[in-house]
């Protein structure tokens, strides 16, 4: 069977202290080869995918690797190929520590990890063509004892989500493998917490994916006296994860609030740029959270999606520029923070754009909505998918009923007509349409959601021919904004 396209993510702490161990995949399994890391046996178990170029390796490390490790007792250096490689490549750690910018620190740590993987493969005589994508994520506190890292714990998740989110937008990974064996402190748990977000981005971005397989590895605690089992868990994910709250803006880290004046200008610049992303992302997310297929279509226009990407590029550069290094004090500080759930909502919007953003400003055909937009809601909940299909099918049925009145059908063909008028004409409604549509008040939100946003008073229908039926919102721009704002306000506010 052909190997699925796989994303292999490993969390690493301090490689210098890893000792040689016998890693096995099940109790009682025989193994004679020791390794100082789970990476080698896991890669060998996935050799077919590696050889076929169907596996991307990601290694997540902390920026606290800038703290150079030295054994407490220089006379007793660890007997480990991991330590040997660390020692051989320690010049990159020295270069990171001498950098005056955070970009420099990250660049040298990345190079260190890339060379470290090469070194290990060479020392173990393992022939595998694999180059890691290295994520250098934020540390908090002083894990190495020399450098101090000031920021928020969730900055780690935000950084890892951004890097993995980009990878998952670009490739339809069918399988995600997480190896948490070597992560330290909060790394394993916070990385694992990202897994439903990663699967959701994949499922939303790539129409060909119907499910994503997650495989989790975590080895037994280290012991030199017995083999270590690489404990494995597997789950298939075929639905997406929704956050039930509003987007939070760019914020000052808690440590920076006592000296807020120092960072206000920096925060304001990011706020102004982020507001461009915020409006698009929150409305796109709302159109997914509630079943609003017509709104979803309008919000994934090519130009809107392009603006979403361009604005984010500015934010990303701004965030990178807002990490400060004090080399004399050995301090890395992050005064600006973005909540990972806010970033997740952004990546949901990007994923929807990738999947659906292949159209301009033209009003959609009902067939298009049924085939493309409607199927997205099956990933949210099958009941929502059925609601959307029912409402779209009902519009098609009313048009078919209209064909029974041939003269009237010919008269109305090619003309926009409100859905409520169509329903009166075909005899399913007695009351005429509301004379005036209040675009600012959506008090009956239950009704709005129950009909997938396709209320008879606010939707117009155009019959082009027997097979082509288009729909649109009355006074689209104003109505869309107020409808989405009303529904978005129902979500729980984000807390600082």
Nearest CA to 65 out of 184, 181, 159, 160 is that of 184
The arithmetic mean of pLDDT across residues 77-96, rounded, is 91
Long-range contacts of 448-453 (CB under 8 A, 24+ apart): 448/290, 448/483, 448/487, 449/290, 449/291, 449/487, 450/387, 451/387, 451/391, 452/291, 452/292, 452/293, 452/387, 452/388, 452/391, 452/392, 453/287, 453/290, 453/291, 453/292, 453/293, 453/294, 453/295, 453/483
According to the model, what pLDDT value does residue 436 have? Answer: 66
Evaluate whether residue 154 is within a structural domain. yes
Q: Are residues 81 and 188 in the same domain?
A: yes
Q: 229 with 260, same domain?
A: no
Choose the final residue of a domain: 324, 356, 388.
356
Quote the CA–CA distance of 151 and 335 in Å, as a whole number.
7
Identify the weakest region by mean pLDDT among 49-58, 332-341, 375-384, 411-420: 411-420
Angle at the Cα of 69 from the Cα atoms of 64 and 74, rounded to 5 degrees: 170
Out of 63-77, 131-145, 455-469, 470-484, least confident range: 63-77
- The whole-chain average pLDDT of the chain stands at 90
Half-sphere exposure of 176 (CA within 13 A, CB side): 30
pLDDT in tens, 275-301: 778 878 889 999 999 999 999 999 999
Closest CA to 295 of 307, 282, 278: 282
Is residue 366 a part of any domain in this protein?
Answer: no
Same domain, 185 and 269: no
Distance from C-alpha of 162 to C-alpha of 187, rounded to nearest angstrom = 16
Quickly state the pLDDT bin for 204 (edges 50, 70, 90): very high
Higher pLDDT, 486 or 200: 200
Residues 161, 15 share a domain: yes
- Residue 348's nearest CA partner among 161, 152, 133, 213 is 161
Residue range 163-187, pLDDT digits in tens: 999 999 999 999 999 999 999 889 9
The pTM score is 0.93
Residue 401 has a pLDDT of: 84
pLDDT at residue 440 tops 60: no
Return d(Cα 55, Cα 439) in angstroms, integer.
51
Confidence class for position 103, pLDDT limits 50, 70, 90: very high
Query: Which of 210, 237, 264 is the last residue in one of the domains?
Result: 237
Distances (CA, A) of 261 to 62, 187, 258, 264, 267: 29, 32, 9, 5, 10
- Shared domain for 335 and 388, answered yes or no, is no
Q: Is residue 460 within a helix (H) or strand (E), and if so which, with residue range?
A: strand 459-463
Same domain, 327 and 381: no
pLDDT at 152: 94
Q: Are residues 110 and 176 in the same domain?
A: yes
Q: Is residue 137 part of a domain?
A: yes
Angle at 67 between CA 99 and CA 101, to 5 degrees: 20
Number of domains in the chain: 3
> First vs last Cα of the chain: how many Å apart?
49
Q: For the chain, what percent of residues have pLDDT higher than 70?
A: 96
| Same domain flag for 233 and 271 | no
Does 496 score more than 60 pLDDT? no
Query: Is residue 232 domain-shared with residue 257, that is, in the same domain?
Result: no
In a domain, 246, yes or no: no
Give dist(CA 37, CA 159) in Å, integer: 24
Residues 103, 202, single domain; the answer is yes
Contact (Cβ atoms closer than 8 angstroms) between residue 80 and residue 40: no
Q: Is residue 372 part of a domain?
A: no
Q: Indicate if 350 and 262 belong to the same structural domain.
A: yes
pLDDT, tens only, 256-270: 998 888 998 888 888
pLDDT at 7 over 80: yes
Residue 209 domain boundaries: 6-237
Predicted pLDDT at 443:
63
Which pair of structure tokens corresponds to residue 204?
A: 């939303």
495 falls within a domain: no
In a domain, 74, yes or no: yes
Q: In the numeric block, which tokens belong to residue 387?
A: 């609601």
476 domain-assigned: yes
Mean pLDDT lowest among 30-39, 94-103, 397-406: 397-406
């Amino acid at each position: 069977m052909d190997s699925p396209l796989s994303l292999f993510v490993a969390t690493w702490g301090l490689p210098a202290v890893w000792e040689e161990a016998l890693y096995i995949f099940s109790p009682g399994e025989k193994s004679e080869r020791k390794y100082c890391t789970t990476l080698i046996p896991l890669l060998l178990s996935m050799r077919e995918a590696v050889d076929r170029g169907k596996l991307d390796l990601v290694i997540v490390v902390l920026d606290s690797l800038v703290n150079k490790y030295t054994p407490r007792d220089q006379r007793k250096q660890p007997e480990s190929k991991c330590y040997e490689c660390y020692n051989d490549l320690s010049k990159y750690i020295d270069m990171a520590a001498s950098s005056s910018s955070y970009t420099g620190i990250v660049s040298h740590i990345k190079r260190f990890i890339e060379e470290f993987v090469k070194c290990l493969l060479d020392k173990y005589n393992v022939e595998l063509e694999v180059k890691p994508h290295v994520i250098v994520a934020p540390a908090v506190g002083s894990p190495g004892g020399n450098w101090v890292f000031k920021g928020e714990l969730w900055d780690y998740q935000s950084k890892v989500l951004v890097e993995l989110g980009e990878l998952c937008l670009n490739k339809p990974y069918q399988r995600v493998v997480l190896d948490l064996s070597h992560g330290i402190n909060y790394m394993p748990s916070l990385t694992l917490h990202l897994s439903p977000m990663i699967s959701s981005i994949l499922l939303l971005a790539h129409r060909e994916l119907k499910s994503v397989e997650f495989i989790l590895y975590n080895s037994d605690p280290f012991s030199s006296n017995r083999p270590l089992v690489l404990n494995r868990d597997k789950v298939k994910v075929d639905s997406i994860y929704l956050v039930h709250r509003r987007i939070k803006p760019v914020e000052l880290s808690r440590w920076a609030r006592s000296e807020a004046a120092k960072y206000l200008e920096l925060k304001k610049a990011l706020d102004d740029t982020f507001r461009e992303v915020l409006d698009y992302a929150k409305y796109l997310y709302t159109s997914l959270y509630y079943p609003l297929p017509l709104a979803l279509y309008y919000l994934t226009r090519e130009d809107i999606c392009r603006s979403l990407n361009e604005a984010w590029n500015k934010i990303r550069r701004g965030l990178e520029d807002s990490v400060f290094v004090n080399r004399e004090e050995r301090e890395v500080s992050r005064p600006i923070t973005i909540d990972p759930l806010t970033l997740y909502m952004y990546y949901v919007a990007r994923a929807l754009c990738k999947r659906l953003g292949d159209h301009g400003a033209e009003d959609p055909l009902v067939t298009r909505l049924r085939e493309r937009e409607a199927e997205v809601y099956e990933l949210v909940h099958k009941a929502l998918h059925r609601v959307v299909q029912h409402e779209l099918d009902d519009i098609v049925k009313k048009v078919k009923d209209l064909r029974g009145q041939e003269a009237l059908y010919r008269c109305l063909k090619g003309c926009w007509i409100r859905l409520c008028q169509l329903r009166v004409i075909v005899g399913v409604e007695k009351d005429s349409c509301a004379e005036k549509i209040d675009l600012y008040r959506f008090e009956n939100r239950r009704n709005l959601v129950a009909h997938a946003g396709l209320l008879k008073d606010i939707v117009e229908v155009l019959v082009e021919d027997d097979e082509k039926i288009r729909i649109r919102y009355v006074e689209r721009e104003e109505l869309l904004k107020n409808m989405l704002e009303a529904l978005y306000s129902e979500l729980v506010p984000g807390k600082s």
